[in-house]
């Protein structure tokens, strides 16, 4: 397909921005510095953009875990060592394992972001006014930070008004 100069924002990119924005907001509100924070990314294989974006956001320690890792790495044991768990896949298998954790850290799932996926896509669309228009890792990180900074006090993330 020829390049027509119109950037495309993939669902995986918008979802990654929404999840990482929620993570950044959680760390900020808990007064946890990014560089010393520990984050477990569950189901990284479902959307590898999330793990990459967590790393790009300056998180101190990022552990990526997939179901295939269960034989070598205990999910509950890993979860007890982190500040936040990002459940990328949101699968029942991951949820069951997360619920079995003793004293679980904060758990952020794609469902927690609600309509923020649309807001992330909208933010990305607005940011793509660059010349040439394209999606970069830097743009994704900037969009996640911006989305987190727009969250009203006491809410998880900004509400979508009007649509995209």
DSSP codes of every residue in 6-18: -----HHHHHHHH
- Which pLDDT does position 164 carry in this prediction? 41
CATH of the domain at 90: 3.40.50.720
CA atoms within 13 A on the CB side of 102: 2
Pairwise pLDDT comparison (8 vs 62), residue with the higher score:
62
Residue 22 predicted with pLDDT over 60: yes
Total count of domains within the chain:
1
Structure confidence at residue 163 (pLDDT): 43
User: Looking at the domain assignment, is residue 58 inside a domain?
Assistant: yes
With cut-offs at 50, 70 and 90, classify the pLDDT of residue 1: very low
- Which range marks the domain in which residue 81 is found? 11-113
- Has residue 4 got a pLDDT over 70? no
| pLDDT classification of 162: cutoffs 50, 70, 90 | very low
Q: Give the sign of the dihedral formed by CA 73, CA 79, CA 84, CA 90.
A: positive
Q: Do the beta carbons of residue 86 and residue 40 sit within 8 Å?
A: yes
In whole angstroms, what is the distance from residue 107 CA to residue 80 CA? 12
| pLDDT value of position 36 | 96
- Whether 164 is covered by a domain: the verdict is no
- Mean pLDDT, to the nearest integer, of 39-43? 91
Pairing of strands 61-65, 106-109: unpaired
| Domain-located, residue 137 | no
Render pLDDT for 102-143 as a digit per residue (tens, 0 to 9). Answer: 556 788 877 766 656 666 676 667 667 767 777 788 888 888
pLDDT of residue 38: 95
Token readout for 87 is 């459940």
Tell me, yes or no, whether 40 lies in a domain. Answer: yes
Domain-embedded: residue 157: no
Q: What is the mean pLDDT of residues 23-34?
A: 92
Rounded (5°) CA angle 140-152-32? 65
Minimum mean pLDDT among 10-14, 78-82, 115-119, 145-149: which range? 115-119
* Rounded distance between C-alpha atoms, residue 74 and residue 21, angstroms: 27
- Are 126 and 90 a contacting pair, CB within 8 Å? no
Residue 142 forms part of a structural domain: no
Indicate whether 161 pLDDT > 90: no
Helix axis angle for 137-149 and 11-29, nearest 10°, is 50
Answer whether residue 30 is part of any domain.
yes
In-domain check, residue 138: no
């Amino acid at each position: 397909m020829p390049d027509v100069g119109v950037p495309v924002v993939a669902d995986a990119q918008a979802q990654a921005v929404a999840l990482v924005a929620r993570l950044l907001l959680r760390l900020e509100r808990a007064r946890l510095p990014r560089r010393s924070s520990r984050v477990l990314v569950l189901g990284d294989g479902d959307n590898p953009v999330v793990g990459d974006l967590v790393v790009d956001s300056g998180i101190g320690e990022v552990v990526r875990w997939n179901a295939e890792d269960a034989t070598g790495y205990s999910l509950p044991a890993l979860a007890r060592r982190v500040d936040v768990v990002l459940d990328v896949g949101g699968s029942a298998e991951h949820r069951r394992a997360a619920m079995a954790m003793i004293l679980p850290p904060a758990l952020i799932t794609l469902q927690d972001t609600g309509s923020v996926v649309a807001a992330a896509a909208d933010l990305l669309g607005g940011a793509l006014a660059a010349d040439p228009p394209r999606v970069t890792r830097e743009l994704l990180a900037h969009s996640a930070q911006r989305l987190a900074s727009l969250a009203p006090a006491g809410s998880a993330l900004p509400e979508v008004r009007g649509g995209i």
